[in-house]
Structure 1
């Protein structure tokens, strides 16, 4: 029996369906179904009655629900206790790579000066993975593309940025995907929200012939674009940090390029150290916005 099995069971019991539970936990429905089946096999009994109207708790399911919720509450409170500021504690932070480049150094530097007794564990993942890890309690807090709409998660704006399209220096102005004069685009893998937005940008314009090559490095993307091989989406704040950024042409994407980075945590589970991280970041976002947007012209 695993905590993820109990969490899936409680979510289905409280929402009344696998689909609704999947939304609450930010999982795919098939994953919720597998966890319920594994829990039933482990306990050797049926936990739900299934019919054409949906799912309802069996007698064994009703017996388990209160006990399972108690286990989860105890687990969550234990995690919170172990990370309390009074004990020094440890703060586990997840962030997008783009956040680690520009915003995170100033945030962590200021935080360390104020709270030297707090141990920090900083991990980078794609946006979809970060949301999942916050939902299952593996991360105390994350900085990711947002906002994220979920009853089990809360978020707060950290800063605003802009996604730019970069092309070779002599490329004509780009107002839509139809204006692109290149053979390919560069982007991250599909579990990245920025890649999802790029794919949607192409699809809405009816562009299906332009391949997207996955590259996990903005430095490599910039090198390929500079060489005249293709185009890429890059955050304005990241672009200014890349050596050689003056050698490419940047194009604004309009509303589709507007980007919000949010702090994300589990509802009701914001630890004291995570709260202090957010408080430390207040003001950094606005100062960063002014500095970033005045550095690079289009």
Structure 2
């Protein structure tokens, strides 16, 4: 279908007047009448009731109205997808440190290559605080671990596994009591560790408490403690401790991509769609 004809048709539907529609699309009334005759001819159906004192659509016109709106919206989206040079500005993305290695490597690089005029302002924080940042509007988009605070209607971007970790080639996990590093005594990682250790009937002692992923990684990398973290956050010389080592995975969690609903921009929409698509492709 010719999109110009559909635009004129929608203008008529919205203004309920051929005269007003002609002013909106910048054509004469006779020109848009000819356009509607062409559209009816291409469809083989009448769209307007002829001879009526007021403008009325036939059932075919009513049916076409919803289709025409969707067609033009799809065309606009397709054009915008290729018009990357005009997509600029700043978008604030919140990322828990747990997922930084997974998100900041290939995913963001591909986005900045696609939209070179865009700027991504990264905020690294824990999920619970990122939820507050979203509510305040200081963060536009954020990855939130389900269970770490209220979530809205964000889609699940990916799933990740909480696993035990230790230093590569280390024998620390054989020690009794087991030296562990924790975030704090009440966070989700620690509670799962304590529960698992009780079920394993393993004695342990807390040797490091750190409120940052950098501190926890440092404790494991230096070989003074084992800990638990998301599988995607493991970087050498840290390695996963498996069931072969006596440490089964702790839990699988969905990670949602949430957005600040009081803020809207084309760049936010593009980054959200880009992130969801890439993670879907890597599942």
TM-score (norm 1): 0.52
| C-alpha separation in 2, matches of 1:96 and 1:275 | 20
CA offsets 1:104-124 (integer angstroms, 9 cap, x no match)? 222211111222222221010
Structure 1 position 233 matched with structure 2 position 228: yes
Task: Give the conservation status (yes or no) of the 8 Å contact 1:182–1:230.
Answer: no
- Rg larger in 1 or in 2? 2
Task: Give the conservation status (yes or no) of the 8 Å contact 1:144–1:262.
Answer: yes
Task: Give the conservation status (yes or no) of the 8 Å contact 2:180–2:204.
Answer: no
Structure 1 position 222 matched with structure 2 position 216: no
| C-alpha separation in 1, matches of 2:267 and 2:185 | 32
SS of equivalent residue, structure 1 residue 116: coil
| C-alpha separation in 1, matches of 2:206 and 2:268 | 40
Q: CA deviation at 1:221?
A: 2.7
Task: Give the conservation status (yes or no) of the 8 Å contact 2:87–2:266.
Answer: no
Structure 1 position 250 matched with structure 2 position 250: no
More off after superposition, 213-222 vs 92-101: 213-222
SS of equivalent residue, structure 1 residue 282: helix
| C-alpha separation in 2, matches of 1:98 and 1:249 | 14
| C-alpha separation in 1, matches of 2:107 and 2:124 | 15
Structure 1 position 154 matched with structure 2 position 133: no
Q: CA deviation at 1:264?
A: 1.5
Correspondence for 1:211 among 206, 209, 227: 206
| C-alpha separation in 2, matches of 1:197 and 1:230 | 16
Task: Give the conservation status (yes or no) of the 8 Å contact 2:99–2:232.
Answer: no
Aligned to 2:114: 114
Q: CA deviation at 1:284?
A: 2.8
Q: CA deviation at 1:91?
A: 0.5
Q: CA deviation at 1:282?
A: 3.2
Structure 1 position 181 matched with structure 2 position 176: yes
Aligned counterparts, 1:1-298, within 5 A: 88-146=88-146, 150=150, 153-167=152-166, 169=169, 181-189=176-184, 193-199=188-194, 201=196, 210-211=205-206, 213-215=208-210, 216=212, 217=214, 218-225=216-223, 229-239=224-234, 241-242=235-236, 244-245=237-238, 250-251=241-242, 256-267=250-261, 269=263, 271-286=265-280, 288-289=282-283
Distance 1:233 1:180, change over 3 A: farther
Task: Give the conservation status (yes or no) of the 8 Å contact 1:187–1:195.
Answer: yes
CA offsets 1:65-109 (integer angstroms, 9 cap, x no match)? xxxxxxxxxxxxxxxxxxxx9773320111111222222222211
Name stretches of at least 5 consecutive residues in structure 1 with no aligned partner.
1-84, 290-298
SS of equivalent residue, structure 1 residue 139: coil
Distance 1:138 1:208, change over 3 A: farther
Name stretches of at least 5 consecutive residues in structure 2 with no aligned partner.
1-84
SS of equivalent residue, structure 1 residue 134: helix
Task: Give the conservation status (yes or no) of the 8 Å contact 1:128–1:192.
Answer: no
SS of equivalent residue, structure 1 residue 210: strand
| C-alpha separation in 2, matches of 1:255 and 1:148 | 19
| C-alpha separation in 1, matches of 2:161 and 2:134 | 25
| C-alpha separation in 2, matches of 1:201 and 1:136 | 36
Task: Give the conservation status (yes or no) of the 8 Å contact 1:160–1:285.
Answer: no
Task: Give the conservation status (yes or no) of the 8 Å contact 1:171–1:181.
Answer: no
